């Protein structure tokens, strides 16, 4: 039978299916670099304790570098009995430098603190990469919003036309959501960046290893203060998947808006061919598949979060094999998010807004609030003006007019004496939008101010 790392007390062979069921190498080999780096630093700690000599350390580091090269060049040969990335790397190290030396590497270490360390390093690297992509995505949106700030469109509540807004206000809304995601990402990276290494299997290190040194060498901000926590904590996995789920939720709503806006009935935007596909049957079709996938994949990412929360909820302290189930959902979530950011960036940088269609979709009844505000400026209480404006809308409807702007001065006067000739100046979309210049509003200055604030956040 093959030699197992933990084979000493076992006599019977493992059920072959159990070997497959147990093995995590197929997916945790993604962390080969982090695993080798953890061992490189850990053995420096051992050398400081005199548990290995300087020559042995050099040999170990030489071996680790070779293994790194093998993985990188796709030349690492996996063998039966390579249960996970940790056992595979250690087995290979023995083949290269001899078991006499490689056999000392794991002194005082457990795969429990090892895997917790690898995972934190891996997630940290991945999240930093996502941060870069996310920044580019947001910057792309900001640029569009700045360039297209003159375009007007209907703003909606309940998917009913509500008030005119600028197209850039819509873009800036999502840029604001994604900037919050960006900030949240930074906080998660900061929180997970503490070292479990040197905690042993659970109880701590028996030779007094310098954990602060190990942490510092690995770029951690410090150590996790309790060895039991260090090996059992997967909150950073949960947080990363929650972050991914929330981000995908934002992406999904963003996509849903664009799917609606790209429909024939709306025609507000045209998706680039690069992000659309055709129908195998209907020659005229151009479908927004990219957006539908962005929307659809949000379900899968949330499923990963929910699934792992279930796995985690009843695990007794400290390490249990259930925890190996953290990897596949986490890796899948991070990869899905990565691809989604890149696709969404492509979509937003290539779509074409149709400003005529957007303008045509504005209707005069969307200025009913502005009509109420007109009387407010003449000193009438808003609750009253709201009612009066409503009567104007009804009068226009009853007289089958195309909008409230078509009422005559006499008709206005008959509804309320306080209407004057300047009421007709109200019926101007551009002016309606420009009035909303308080912070956060849809006036040009207000939008440019929002975009500037987002840029400042991103550049911090």
Residue 307 to residue 409: CA distance in whole angstroms:
65
Locus of tokens 């934190």 = 120
| 111-119, 131-139, 340-348, 358-366 -> range binding ligand ARG (CB under 6 A) | 111-119
Query: From the list 68, 91, 111, 211, which residue makes contact with ligand ARG (rule: CB under 6 A)?
Result: 111
Within positions 218 to 277, which residues make up the interface with ligand ARG, using CB under 6 A? Answer: none
Q: How far is the CB of 325 from ligand ARG (least distance, A)?
A: 8
Active-site hit among 150, 263, 279, 414: 279
Query: From the list 39, 89, 102, 112, which residue makes contact with ligand ARG (rule: CB under 6 A)?
Result: 112
Q: How far is the CB of 118 from ligand ARG (least distance, A)?
A: 9
Count interface residues toward ligand ARG (CB under 6 A): 10
Q: How far is the CB of 137 from ligand ARG (least distance, A)?
A: 32
Residue 255 to residue 271: CA distance in whole angstroms:
11
Q: Closest CB to ligand ARG among 9 and 383?
A: 9
Is residue 345 close enough to count as binding ligand ARG by CB under 6 A?
no
Active-site hit among 158, 280, 314, 402: 158
Query: From the list 31, 57, 101, 115, which residue makes contact with ligand ARG (rule: CB under 6 A)?
Result: 115
Q: Is 279 known to be catalytic? A: yes
**What is the per-residue binding string for ligand ARG in 143-182, x denoting contact by CB under 6 A?**
----------------------------------------
Q: Closest CB to ligand ARG among 24 and 179?
A: 24
Q: Closest CB to ligand ARG among 202 and 401?
A: 202
CA–CA distance from 165 to each of 234, 276, 313 (Å)? 44, 27, 46
Instruction: Report CA Rg, the chain.
Output: 31
Within positions 10 to 39, which residues make up the interface with ligand ARG, using CB under 6 A? Answer: 24, 28
Q: Of 123, 108, 112, which is closest to residue 320 (Cα–Cα)?
A: 112
Q: What is the number of alpha carbons within 13 Å of residue 353 lying toward its C-beta?
A: 20
Q: Is 158 known to be catalytic? A: yes
**What is the per-residue binding string for ligand ARG in 64-103, x denoting contact by CB under 6 A?**
--------------------x-------------------
Q: Closest CB to ligand ARG among 236 and 319?
A: 319
Residue numbers annotated as active site: 158, 279
Q: Which residues contact ligand ARG by CB under 6 A?
A: 24, 28, 84, 111-112, 115, 319, 321, 323-324
């Amino acid at each position: 039978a093959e030699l197992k790392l933990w084979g000493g007390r076992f006599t019977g062979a493992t059920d072959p299916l159990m070997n497959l069921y147990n093995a995590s190498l197929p997916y945790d080999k993604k962390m080969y670099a982090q695993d080798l780096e953890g061992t490189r630093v850990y053995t420096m700690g051992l050398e400081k304790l005199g548990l290995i000599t300087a020559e042995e350390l050099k040999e170990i580091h030489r071996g680790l570098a070779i293994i790194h090269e093998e993985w990188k060049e796709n030349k690492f040969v996996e063998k039966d009995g390579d249960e996970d990335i940790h056992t595979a790397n250690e087995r290979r190290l023995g083949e290269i430098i001899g078991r006499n030396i490689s056999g000392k590497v794991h002194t005082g270490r457990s795969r429990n603190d090892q895997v917790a360390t690898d995972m934190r390093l891996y997630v940290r690297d991945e999240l930093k990469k996502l941060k870069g992509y996310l920044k580019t995505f947001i910057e792309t949106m900001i640029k569009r919003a700045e360039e297209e700030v003159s375009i007007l469109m209907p703003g909606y509540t309940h998917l009913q036309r509500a008030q005119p807004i600028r197209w850039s206000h819509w873009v800036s809304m999502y840029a604001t959501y994604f900037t919050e995601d960006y900030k949240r990402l930074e906080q998660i990276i900061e929180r997970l960046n503490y070292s479990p290494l040197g905690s042993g299997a659970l109880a701590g290190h028996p030779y007094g290893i310098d954990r602060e040194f190990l942490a510092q060498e690995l770029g951690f901000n410090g150590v996790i203060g309790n060895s039991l926590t260090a090996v059992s904590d997967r909150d950073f996995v949960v947080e990363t998947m929650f972050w991914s789920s929330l981000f995908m939720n934002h992406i999904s709503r963003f996509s849903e808006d664009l799917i609606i806006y790209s429909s024939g009935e709306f025609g507000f935007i045209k998706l680039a061919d690069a992000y659309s596909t055709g129908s195998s049957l209907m020659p005229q079709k151009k479908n927004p598949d990219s957006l539908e996938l962005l929307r659809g994949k949000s379900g899968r990412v949330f499923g990963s979060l929910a699934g792992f929360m279930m796995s985690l909820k009843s695990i007794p302290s400290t390490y249990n094999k259930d925890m190996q189930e953290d990897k596949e959902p986490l890796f899948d979530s991070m990869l899905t998010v990565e691809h989604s950011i890149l696709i969404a960036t492509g979509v937003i940088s290539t779509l074409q807004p149709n400003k005529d269609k957007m303008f045509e979709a504005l209707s005069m009844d969307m200025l009913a609030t502005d009509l109420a505000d007109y009387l407010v400026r003449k000193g009438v209480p808003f609750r009253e003006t709201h009612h009066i404006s409503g009567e104007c809308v009804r009068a226009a409807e009853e007289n089958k007019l195309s909008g409230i702007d078509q009422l005559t001065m006499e008709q206005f006067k008959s509804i309320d004496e306080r209407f004057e000739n300047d009421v007709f100046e109200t019926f101007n979309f551009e002016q309606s939008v420009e009035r909303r210049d308080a912070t956060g509003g849809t006036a040009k200055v207000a939008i440019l101010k929002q975009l500037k604030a987002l840029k400042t956040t991103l550049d911090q």
